[in-house]
Amino acid sequence: YTTLFRSDLSRMDELREQLLKRLSEVYGQMDQEIDEIAKYVQEQISQQVKGDEVQQNLNDCLLAVRSSSTLEDLDKMAGAGLFDSILNVKLSDRSQMKKAITEVWLSLFNKRAIISRKQNGIASCRAQMAILVQRMIDSEISFIIHSVNPITDDPSQVYIELAIGQGETLASANQSGTPYRLTFDKKTGKVQVVAFASYSYGLFANQLSRGLAKRCVDYSQIPFHKNPADLMSLGAHLGE
């Protein structure tokens, strides 16, 4: 498909300097005053976004539009949950695609992201955002894999976290509870269950609306709870 956005580059360079100057003011402001600055920056950028036509003969599949910022997964700042992700976006819907990409990019300048930069002494000129557009899978189980155990820093162990439903539960860190947690020994192939999941609900794809559907999880019906050997078998497969 063709490019969704275009802008006057000379105008954007001028606007960038103006907005960075405005953002620098947060370092001398109270947190409650940041709302006004965040709103001003997002409004100014939104006014510069213009859309081109997108081909209409695209498959009508669902997409996940996600953030990929230079201020995520830093040594002293994980950045989990700071930026937005938009799910259930129709590939063939030009307006919905444009809106989702714009919202995710603008989340670089939302209040919680600005406050986090302020708390960590990071200038907004270092904040950059790329957008990941991925085909959305209607998953029953999602997982995140660490090639080095992040708890013990043991390079010989793979650390695995799993949750019922979509990966947003794991990636956003917005829900109380814990996922299934396992370790996989790279040398011996041994799998150890560190924790069983306790999230009260799972998130699932919803064809009827933009958001995800919440469903209570009955762990008595989840095979991993009834037969931990199934969980360990999946852990060995993922670890390998």
Tens place of pLDDT per residue across the chain (240 aa): 344 444 544 555 666 677 777 777 666 655 556 677 677 777 776 666 554 444 444 456 788 888 887 776 666 666 667 788 888 888 878 788 888 888 888 888 888 888 887 877 877 777 788 888 888 887 889 999 999 999 999 999 999 999 999 888 887 777 889 999 999 999 999 999 999 999 999 988 776 666 678 899 999 999 888 889 999 999 999 999
User: Structure pTM?
Assistant: 0.61
The predicted structure's pLDDT at residue 9 = 45
The predicted structure's pLDDT at residue 183 = 97
The predicted structure's pLDDT at residue 71 = 72
Tokens describing residue 237: 């497969």
* Phi/psi-derived region of residue 88, left when phi > 0, alpha when psi is between -120 and 50, beta in every other case: left
Between CA 20 and CA 14 the distance in angstroms is: 10
Q: Are 87 and 210 in contact (CB under 8 A)?
A: yes
Phi, psi of 228, rounded to the nearest 5 degrees = -60, -20
* Phi/psi-derived region of residue 33, left when phi > 0, alpha when psi is between -120 and 50, beta in every other case: alpha
Run of H or E including 132? strand 129-135
The predicted structure's pLDDT at residue 57 = 43
Q: Are 65 and 131 in contact (CB under 8 A)?
A: yes
Selection from 111, 95, 108 nearest residue 38 by Cα: 111
